[in-house]
Amino acid sequence: MADKQHLYLVDGSAYIFRAYHRLPPLTDPEGTPVGAVYGYTTMLWKLAEDLDKAEGPTHLAVILDKSSHSFRNDIYPEYKANRPPPPEDLVPQFPLIRDATRAFSLECIEEEGLEADDLIASYARAAAAKGWDVTIVSSDKDLMQLIDSGSDSSGRIDMLDTMKNQRISIPEVEEKFGVAPDLVGDVLALMGDSVDNIPGIFGVGPKTATKLIQEHGNLTAALDAAADMKKSKLKERLLEHREDAEMSRILVTLKEDCDLPVPLEDFALDGVPSEPLADFLHKHGFTSLLRRLDAGTGSPDRANDLNPAKAETAGAAASAKGNSQPLPDMPAVDRTSYECVQTRDALDRWIEKCLAARVIAVDTETSALDAMQADLVGISLATGPNEACYIPLQHGGSDMFDEKPEQIALDEALAALRPLLASDAVLKIGQNIKYDLNVLARYDVEVAPIDDTMIISFALDAGRGESGIGGGHGMDELSSRHLGHQPLSFKEVCGTGKKQIPFGEVPLDRATEYAAEDADVTWRLHKHLKPRLSIEGGTTIYERVDRPLVPVVAMMERNGIKVDRTQLARLSEEFATEMGKLEKQIHEDAGQEFTIGSPKQLGDILFDKLGYKGGRKGKSGQYSTDQAVLEKLAGEGAEIANKVLEWRQLSKLKSTYTDALQAAINPKTGRVHTSYSLVGAQTGRLSSTDPNLQNIPIRTAIGRQIREAFVAEPGNVLLAADYSQIELRLAAHMADVPSLKEAFEQGEDIHNRTAREMYGEVNRDTRAQAKTINFAILYGISRWGLAGRLGVEADEAQAMIDRYFERFPGIQRYIAETLETVRERGYSETLFGRKTWFPRINSKNQAERQGSERAAINAPIQGTSADIIKRAMARMMPALHDAGLDKVRMLLQVHDELVFELPEGDVDKAKPVIEKIMAEAARPAVQLDVPLGIEIGTGTSWDEAH
């Protein structure tokens, strides 16, 4: 195994000037000039591509000039004095060069008082002395002095001009200067350099300089020989300007013994993350590179393209198999290892440490659960296992007399943390980081780029865990499952019930253990889970769909939506009055008072006391009194059933909507801010909580009044855009059903089409039945289920199913194939590759198995629909921005609908943009056989917008 080390030293400063002049004046989406950055990035890219080649680097660093002043100015004040200031549009690119470098996970070296050339010389010599080969990426002729063929004990040094794609070693130097590298300095001293303002000997150019050195052997000899020369202009000049030449010799001499600010070993190219790269490329609009990044990934992770982290990949493969095992290479969690950061010095140290680490976990501690109201209490950071800290910011009770613990002032700490948290070069990992994004956004702190262990877990394991809050992707569960470690629980730290205290009142030592542990565990989970994405095929859905969505959904949550409190209050009163009347009548009909809202009591009244027919149901032995049962009773003339139904509707609307929504209005913003879960639904759909804004009534007139209370600010309107019949369209595509596809292509009403195919004629009844069947198909049909819905016998329902399969060939095949693959692999997949696991698909329990089968038939369709609208959401704001529509706000998502708020005057311009983004959201990843129909409406209320 060849373990020859090969160090590449990139002369970044020289490169950027050349790139600037060679490339067109590009700007990024934000208008920042990035032409030189682009050139620089491309150059790094090319180097990265050579990683595995024989001549490729094992170590790499970029060297930059820190300031224009160096020790050479002390010798000769005019040094580089005639150099014009850098062009105005190059200046802002310098910091981006550093970002680009870090995005590639490369070291970036610069030192005050030293020029890049000196650092390069020192590093090159140091590496060569250790026997490493060195390649200097530059075309600077000064650096050619360093070129060396190497020996048994020392490595060789050569140069690479990436613009000309030319290697420079001794023959090339000899061709250019006519002398060996160690005499290049002497030639340069004679000829001078107008760019650096090195005088040399006036009137002596490269030709003469070379000739003199060749003839006399070195500079001193050449100068000494001048006295004996025959009279000439040259002799005069050599004598007259001898001192200039001698000083020039010093100026062109590279300082080869600088202290090395970063040890050579740190330049090793291994185990580096590449996520920041994609974000950097994206942010600056380097789409062609981004495409290449993606093209190179396919299934393998992009990290493999950019670094030779083979060890890491192999380890990940092992851990993916036994994913309940703790990682062998991580030390056990040690809560005593955490640091409580209470001084500015300590904070600065941690910030440096994070910048160096490039992959950090971040967690915020707050005073409450609601990200829109919670106060920031502290921040924890982790850079590795047991490398974590907690930064208390607002600890100490609200009581003025309490002594507050020592902590850095909030403003000061946030100002120090802002650049780190916003740096392209540092990946910020969170567990449900959307929460932290929203809390920090309220303190004007931006966090990007990000990764989220909860969402990575979801991309890998949706459907595998127990259902419940977090869906099996909560931190405690992930930690137990993957790390074999149980972190401190919030309860253990803050207590529970009445004794619960706010986090800000937890003593700092305890708070540090809890908070830093969360960051530590998050960091470890990321290390464990992230590599599984590429191995198990989750990269595409995570990188292309879910991860980009996090900041978008966070923004939607912060936007919130205005609700008219007066309108809701009025409805609450109306509903209460009506319920009171109904209650009285129901009690009269029952002949006694009872709690209508208690299904148990109601069942007893209806079926025992009043003697209506209706069986028991469920294990509880309780009568069912649901809508279907009550409607049946009402059909048989039971007036009380109708009244209960009406009462229930009002009760539901009042408690769940008109009362609850008023309480949900945020006092600071005056709006209602829901919280979306990106891991709530196994199919990939979002879910909405606190309050749920995805189930606001629409189906009944009385319920729609609640929608009227969702309004736009004055001068604005709400715009609702929804996908029409998206799941049926997807079914038509995925099952490849010719007549359904044709109907959608021709814009035909799909239920009419189904009715025509099934019954030969279209009327109200046949259309309604067709609609039911269409949905039944999407949901995984059974003869009994369909029979129950249509009110026919199971035999008849089966005949209809058979007819459906006959008229729409493809459906039956789709169902069979889907089930076959799910049984075999254990999971279903959407068109975009999202997996949903069905662990009970082969269960011996028939009910369980059949339930899984129905879900498995539905999941690819529902999930693909979710993928599509998510893609639309991720693209929406940039598209609106490009159209100059910065006042359009995206507020809500309701599975196949997006709700916006925008100035009335922007409607005409915004409509086509929104329509286009939604209609084309599947492309280019997937080319659907059916068009995606979009319906758009506007109005001052959500009801009107439909």
Partner DNA sequence: GATGTCACG
Partner DNA sequence: GACGTACGTGACATCA
Enumerate residues 546-565 that contact DNA by CB under 7 A: none
Options 453, 649, 662, 830; binder of DNA; rule CB under 7 A:
649
Point out which span in 220-228, 615-623, 731-739, 925-933 binds DNA (CB under 7 A): 615-623
CB of residue 682 vs DNA: minimum separation in angstroms?
4
Options 276, 895, 902, 928; binder of DNA; rule CB under 7 A:
895
Per-residue binding string, DNA, 681-700, x by CB under 7 A, is: xxx-x-xxxxxx-xxxxxxx
In the block, tokens 């250790």 appear at: 130
With beta carbons less than 8 A apart as the criterion, state whether 691 and 593 touch: no
Enumerate residues 781-810 that contact DNA by CB under 7 A: 781-782, 784-786, 788-789
Q: Choose among 404, 445, 450, 411: nearest CA to 431.
A: 450
Interaction of residue 304 with DNA, rule CB under 7 A: no
Point out which span in 474-482, 521-529, 553-561, 673-681 binds DNA (CB under 7 A): 673-681
Sign of CA dihedral 233, 235, 239, 241: positive
Q: Describe the chain by its helix, strand, coil percentages, rounded to 5.
A: 50, 10, 35
Q: Choose among 422, 461, 465: nearest CA to 444.
A: 422
CA distance 78 to 668: 61
What number of helices (H) and strands (E) belong to the chain? 39, 25
Point out which span in 54-62, 109-117, 451-459, 653-661 binds DNA (CB under 7 A): 653-661
Task: Region of 200 please: left (phi>0), alpha (psi -120 to 50) or beta.
Answer: left
Which two structure tokens, joined as six digits, stand for 940? Answer: 């001052």
Nearer to DNA, 299 or 467 (CB): 467
Q: Choose among 46, 52, 54: nearest CA to 137.
A: 46
CB of residue 618 vs DNA: minimum separation in angstroms?
4
Q: Choose among 695, 720, 708, 712: nearest CA to 945.
A: 720
Options 326, 779, 807, 926; binder of DNA; rule CB under 7 A:
779
Size of interface with DNA, in residues (CB under 7 A):
75
Point out which span in 194-202, 282-290, 510-518, 778-786 binds DNA (CB under 7 A): 778-786
Enumerate residues 852-891 that contact DNA by CB under 7 A: 854-855, 858-859, 862
Options 472, 504, 603, 860; binder of DNA; rule CB under 7 A:
603
Options 313, 850, 878, 926; binder of DNA; rule CB under 7 A:
850
Enumerate residues 817-846 that contact DNA by CB under 7 A: 846
Nearer to DNA, 166 or 695 (CB): 695
**12, 109, 112, 117, 668 from 69: Cα distances, Å:** 17, 16, 8, 13, 52
Enumerate residues 496-535 that contact DNA by CB under 7 A: none
In the block, tokens 């020592």 appear at: 406
Point out which span in 357-365, 679-687, 746-754, 814-822 binds DNA (CB under 7 A): 679-687
Nearer to DNA, 153 or 595 (CB): 595
Nearer to DNA, 76 or 775 (CB): 775
Interaction of residue 407 with DNA, rule CB under 7 A: no
Interaction of residue 81 with DNA, rule CB under 7 A: no
Residue 892 CA, distance from chain mean position? 20
CB of residue 610 vs DNA: minimum separation in angstroms?
16
Interaction of residue 149 with DNA, rule CB under 7 A: no
CB of residue 860 vs DNA: minimum separation in angstroms?
11
Enumerate residues 443-482 that contact DNA by CB under 7 A: 467
Which two structure tokens, joined as six digits, stand for 643? Answer: 């009244």
Nearer to DNA, 35 or 860 (CB): 860
Point out which span in 88-96, 248-256, 323-331, 627-635 binds DNA (CB under 7 A): 627-635
With beta carbons less than 8 A apart as the criterion, state whether 12 and 94 touch: no
CA distance 653 to 695: 11
Options 896, 901, 906, 943; binder of DNA; rule CB under 7 A:
896
Helices in 132-264 by DSSP H: which ranges? 170-177, 181-191, 206-216, 219-225, 233-240, 242-252
Residue 42 CA, distance from chain mean position? 23
Q: Choose among 119, 609, 654, 438: nearest CA to 134.
A: 119
Nearer to DNA, 165 or 846 (CB): 846
What lies within 8 Å, CB to CB, of 926 at 6+ separation is: 831, 832
Nearer to DNA, 409 or 768 (CB): 768
Enumerate residues 560-599 that contact DNA by CB under 7 A: 595, 597-599
In the block, tokens 């700092």 appear at: 508
Nearer to DNA, 585 or 850 (CB): 850
Nearer to DNA, 531 or 810 (CB): 810
What single DSSP character describes residue 637? T
Options 585, 601, 642, 812; binder of DNA; rule CB under 7 A:
601
Task: Region of 386 please: left (phi>0), alpha (psi -120 to 50) or beta.
Answer: left
Which two structure tokens, joined as six digits, stand for 61? Answer: 């660093």
Nearer to DNA, 32 or 772 (CB): 772
CB of residue 163 vs DNA: minimum separation in angstroms?
54
Phi and psi (nearest 5°) for 934?
A: -120, 130
Options 253, 313, 656, 821; binder of DNA; rule CB under 7 A:
656
Nearer to DNA, 57 or 780 (CB): 780
CA distance 222 to 245: 11
Point out which span in 76-84, 344-352, 376-384, 600-608 binds DNA (CB under 7 A): 600-608
**603, 776, 860 from 751: Cα distances, Å:** 38, 13, 22
Options 500, 655, 763, 842; binder of DNA; rule CB under 7 A:
655
Options 29, 396, 614, 851; binder of DNA; rule CB under 7 A:
851
CB of residue 821 vs DNA: minimum separation in angstroms?
17
Q: Choose among 215, 139, 159, 168: nearest CA to 7.
A: 159
Nearer to DNA, 698 or 799 (CB): 698
CB of residue 941 vs DNA: minimum separation in angstroms?
15
Nearer to DNA, 94 or 779 (CB): 779
CB of residue 760 vs DNA: minimum separation in angstroms?
21
CB of residue 446 vs DNA: minimum separation in angstroms?
28
Nearer to DNA, 746 or 846 (CB): 846
CB of residue 469 vs DNA: minimum separation in angstroms?
8
With beta carbons less than 8 A apart as the criterion, state whether 313 and 531 touch: yes
> With 0-12 CB in 10 A as exposed, 13-18 as middle and 19+ as buried, what is 95?
exposed
Nearer to DNA, 274 or 651 (CB): 651
CB of residue 666 vs DNA: minimum separation in angstroms?
15
Task: Classify 166 as helix, strand or coil.
Answer: strand
Enumerate residues 753-772 that contact DNA by CB under 7 A: 772
CA distance 780 to 776: 6
Interaction of residue 151 with DNA, rule CB under 7 A: no
Residue 533 CA, distance from chain mean position? 14
Nearer to DNA, 166 or 627 (CB): 627
Give the chain's end-to-end CA distance (angstroms, integer): 68
Task: Region of 684 please: left (phi>0), alpha (psi -120 to 50) or beta.
Answer: left
Integer-rounded Cα Rg, in Å, for the chain is 35
In the block, tokens 């790139």 appear at: 19
Options 465, 474, 680, 833; binder of DNA; rule CB under 7 A:
680
CB of residue 467 vs DNA: minimum separation in angstroms?
7
Interaction of residue 68 with DNA, rule CB under 7 A: no
